[in-house]
Amino acid sequence: SYVLTQPPSVSVAPGKTARITCAGTNIGSKSVHWYQQKPGQAPVLVIYFDSDRPSGIPERFSGSNSANTATLTISRVEAGDEADYYCQVWDSSSDRVVFGGGTKLTVL
Amino acid sequence: QEQLVQSGAEVKKPGASVKLSCKASGYTFTSYYMHWVRQAPGQGLEWVGIISPSGGSTSHAQRFRGRVTMTRDTSTSTVYMELSSLRSEDTAVYYCARGAARTHFDYWGRGTLVTVSS
C-alpha cells in the first residue's frame, strides 16, 4: 500500500518560514491535500490539489508537489499556526485515502 | 452553511458493536461523498471508509474488512457507520468528513469519541 512519510516535528521562530514535507513514491503524480489540526479540534483543510487554498485560509499557506516530495510552506509564521499538520492523497490504484503520519509544528 | 452533526460519545465492551451517525445540513446531501476518519488518542488520522450518499456504494480500508458497515438515509440526510467486534484498539475519535471531489475533505464533523473497555 502507498505510504506517506512526514517528519514528526518542525520548529520555527515567529515571523520565519516553516516547511513541512511529505514524501511518497512518485507523489508528484498525485494530488496532495493538507490539513491543520489544533488540540481538541477537528482537522481543517488548508491546501488542496497541491497548491490551492480554500477560502478563509491565509495566503501565508502555500503548497508544492514534485517528484517524490510535497511541501507545505507557511510564511511569516504566527503563534496561532502551532498545530499538527497532515498530508493526504487519494491512491487511485487501491481506491483508498492515505494520510501521512503528521507533523507537529512548534512556534518557538 | 455546511454542517455535519455527529452523535454522542459511546462506551462499549470488547466484542460489541457501535453505530455512529452524522447528519448533514446546508448543502445537497446526495451531491457529495461522505468519509469516516478516526484518530486514536495521541495518534494520527486514519481513513476508515467512504459512502456515496446518492447510490449508497461504499469502500473501506482493508483493515476494517468484515467489521465496518456504512449506510445512509437520504430522507434525513444522515450517514451511519457501524463497527463490530470492537477491541480496545478501536478506541478513538471518529469523524465524518464531506468528500470534495471524492479525493479530499472540505468539511468535518466535531467527532464522536468511542471508548472500548471491559
Q: What is the pLDDT of residues B42-68, one digit of tens each?
A: 999 999 999 999 999 999 999 999 999
- Farthest CA pair distance, chain A: 41
Instruction: Compare CB distances from B47 to A31, A45, A99 and report the shortest one's residue.
Output: A99
Partners of A21 in the β-ladder = A71
DSSP labels, B89-102: GG-EEEEEEEEETT
Measured distance CA(A13)–CA(A15) in Å, rounded: 6
Please give the single-letter amino acid code of residue A55.
Answer: S
Q: How far is B110 from chain A (nearest CA, A)?
A: 6
Residue matched to cell numbers 497532515: A86
Q: Is the pLDDT of residue B98 over 90?
A: yes
Cβ contact B44–A86 (<8 Å) = yes
The H or E element spanning position A99 is strand A96-99
pLDDT of residue A92: 87
User: What is the pairing mode between strands B58-60 and B45-51?
Assistant: antiparallel
Please give the DSSP secondary-structure letter assigned to residue A5: B
Cell numbers linked to A94 = 487501491
| Amino acid at the residue A49 | F
Taking an 8 Å cut-off on Cβ atoms, the answer to whether B61 and A48 are in contact is no
Q: Is the Cβ pair B103, A90 closer than 8 Å?
A: yes
Q: Return the pLDDT at A1.
A: 87
Task: For residue A75, name the pLDDT band (cuts at 50, 70, 90).
Answer: very high
Which band of pLDDT confidence, cut at 50, 70 and 90, is reported for residue B16? Answer: very high
Confidence (pLDDT) at A39: 96
Helix (H, G, I), strand (E, B) or coil at A27: helix
Dihedrals phi, psi of B110, to nearest 5 degrees: -80, -10
How confident is the model over A9-63, as pLDDT tens digits? 999 999 999 999 999 999 999 999 999 999 999 999 999 999 999 999 999 999 9
Q: pLDDT per residue over B76-96, tens digit each?
A: 999 999 999 999 999 999 999
